[in-house]
Structure 1
Amino acid sequence: MQVLQVQLEVRPDPAEVGRARKWARSRLAGSGIAADEPLAETLVLLVSELVTNAVVHTGRPAVLRLSLPGTAGETATVRLEVADTSNRAPVPRCVDGEATGGRGLALVNGLADRWGWSPEGAGKRIWCELDRCTTSRAAQSCIGGASAYEGLAFEAV
């Protein structure tokens, strides 16, 4: 299977998060992943979380990379990476209900099929992967399938 790899340089500015989401949506659409597919919505949320972490916690430029399936198959994996020049390891935090932040990595852990990080040069790379299922049988076990969201409510604010 062919894989399309694209990247976006992100400045250390919180306004870049919105630009990264818009960029990711356009790249997904170009790869044949519709904006209303659960996989696209989940991936854009993960882009938002990881780019926000890079911008807010490092104050340094970052690079957002997407590896997208070049052709639709029965299953395919979409990979998201954010590389920055900070050598501080990502640390999941436990926060109370009143906190306005600190849930990003917990969200990544809950939504991605796999995630992790590794040192890269003077910095690090945080990555996550989502499996896309295009058949109804496969969709029963993939996060990209609607069944993964049954019983959950989401609100965009």
Structure 2
Amino acid sequence: MQLEVRPDPAEVGRARRWARSRLAGSGIRPDEPLAETLVLLVSELVTNAVVHTGRTAVLRLSLPCEAADEVPVRLEVADSSPRVPLPRLADGEETGGRGLALVDGLADRWGWSRDGGGKRVWCELDRCERDEARLACGGGVRYEGCESPDGFEGFEGFGGLEGLAYEAV
């Protein structure tokens, strides 16, 4: 399933609604934590594409059937900008700069790769039913296929985000 997203901030809301509408046949109830986390991750990655590239992006969502609980939910946002997604820690009152930190804290795995002249940013969520079960499924981030801004393989992202709090409003 995929959705083309125009470079307009209003598209972020449309992407969230589209993602929610796709949950119906997946066995993920709209009120469960996994659904809320997925929609928040859609919002963050689409916002990054819209705000930082100014180009059209493609949102892809892989929702395995109900019977495939061991298969993670995968979200990808591809765009044609060669601009590297640079994680940063925003200072106190800044209103932006926390998107990839949020992805890092919520996704079980995430990364990015070059895609033609652009890039593809992706994340995965394991389909565990409760927060305790998510930890048992290996909660915590593993960086796969990431590149550093300098092109070094194995970019470790944020590491050590202890003490940061995230609030979704």
- Same fold judged by TM-score > 0.5? yes
More strand by share: 1
1:17 matched residue in structure 2: 12
2:49 matched residue in structure 1: 54
Q: Which runs of 5+ in 1 are unaligned?
A: 1-5, 145-152
Distance 1:72 1:95, change over 3 A: same
Q: Which runs of 5+ in 2 are unaligned?
A: 140-164
1:133 matched residue in structure 2: 128
Larger relative contact order (Cα-Cα within 8 Å, sequence gap ≥ 6): 1
1:113 matched residue in structure 2: 108
Q: Give CA deviations for 1:37-89 in whole Å, capped at 9, x if unaligned.
A: 11100000000000000000000000000011123344331000000000011
Percent sequence identity over aligned pairs: 77
1:36 matched residue in structure 2: 31
C-alpha RMSD over aligned residues: 2.4
Matches within 5 A, 1:83-122: 83-122=78-117
Where has structure 1 moved over 6 Å in runs of 4 or more?
Answer: none
TM-score by length of 1: 0.83
User: How many pairs align?
Assistant: 145
Query: 2:115 and 2:17 mapped to 1: Cα distance?
Result: 26
Q: Give CA deviations for 1:6-43 in whole Å, capped at 9, x if unaligned.
A: 00000000000000000000101232211111110000
Query: 2:5 and 2:137 mapped to 1: Cα distance?
Result: 30
